[in-house]
A and B are shown apart, each in its own frame.
Chain A
Amino acid sequence: GQQLNQSPQSMFIQEGEDVSMNCTSSSIFNTWLWYKQDPGEGPVLLIALYKAGELTSNGRLTAQFGITRKDSFLNISASIPSDVGIYFCAGRTGGGGSNYKLTFGKGTLLTVNP
């Protein structure tokens, strides 16, 4: 099946630093999504990307849909303590009647030192 390779697995940074994480795949995706999961909660959608090359921002978060459709990255600028959590990328293929299935990466655990 499809797999997403997400890196890094974990990051430990100081408050105020910028953060970058990415996902790569051997398969093409038509949609890339970035979610954040807090402990004991479900994933919350941060950014959705629908076109190759698209660059989208949501506050201090910026994500890009790779030109090859096989990768995406998420940047967080000027991190704050509440950015702590697990960040997941997810991809969705289009067409074929199964474009509802989300394939998730294994997550990046972000820890922010105040």
Chain B
Amino acid sequence: NAGVMQNPRHLVRRRGQEARLRCSPMKGHSHVYWYRQLPEEGLKFMVYLQKENIIDESGMPKERFSAEFPKEGPSILRIQQVVRGDSAAYFCASSPLSGGATDTQYFGPGTRLTVL
């Protein structure tokens, strides 16, 4: 399966713990996007990364959230000291190009984070 892969699919954390979400883009894609989906809401843009570069993190909370896309390995979205309000589905998407007019973002299956 050459699709976008995310793991874990489900993650349960207690308040104050750290959550690490991983995303492997489709083969040949070097652009990764993270979105958050709250219950009964649409997806909200968080951050756009290329290999070793954060291009736009305007949708990501300034505190406790960070993202990286290293030269080797998956992209990581890290949430430190999680709170109940962080409970959501986090989706990763990848694309082969850089936001061109016809560039398509392909989504992974998501990680459902539950904070107890």
Contacts and interface: CB of A to CB of B under 8 A. Distances in A.
A67 B108 CA distance: 32
A66 interface: no
A78 interface: no
Contacts of B107: 35, 42-44
A104 B44 contact: yes
Given A31-B101, A42-B91, A45-B104, A101 B109 contact: no
Given A99-B101, A102-B105, A107 B56 contact: no
A40 B41 CA distance: 14
B99 A100 contact: yes
B103 A100 contact: yes
Q: How large is the interface on B (under 10, 10 to 19, 20 to 34, 35 or more residues)?
A: 20 to 34
Interface in A33-69: 35, 40-45, 48, 50
A48 B104 contact: yes
Contact of A103 (B6, B31, B45, B95): B45
A35 B107 CA distance: 10
Report whether over half of chain A's contact residues are helix, strand or loop; otherwise say mixed: loop
Interface residues of A, number: 26
A48 B45 CA distance: 19
A16 interface: no
A102 B101 contact: no
B102 interface: yes
A32 interface: no
Interface in A9-46: 30-31, 35, 40-45
Interface of A: 4, 6, 30-31, 35, 40-45, 48, 50, 88, 90, 94, 98-107
Interface of B: 4, 6, 31, 33, 35, 40-45, 48, 56, 59, 91, 93, 95, 98-110, 112
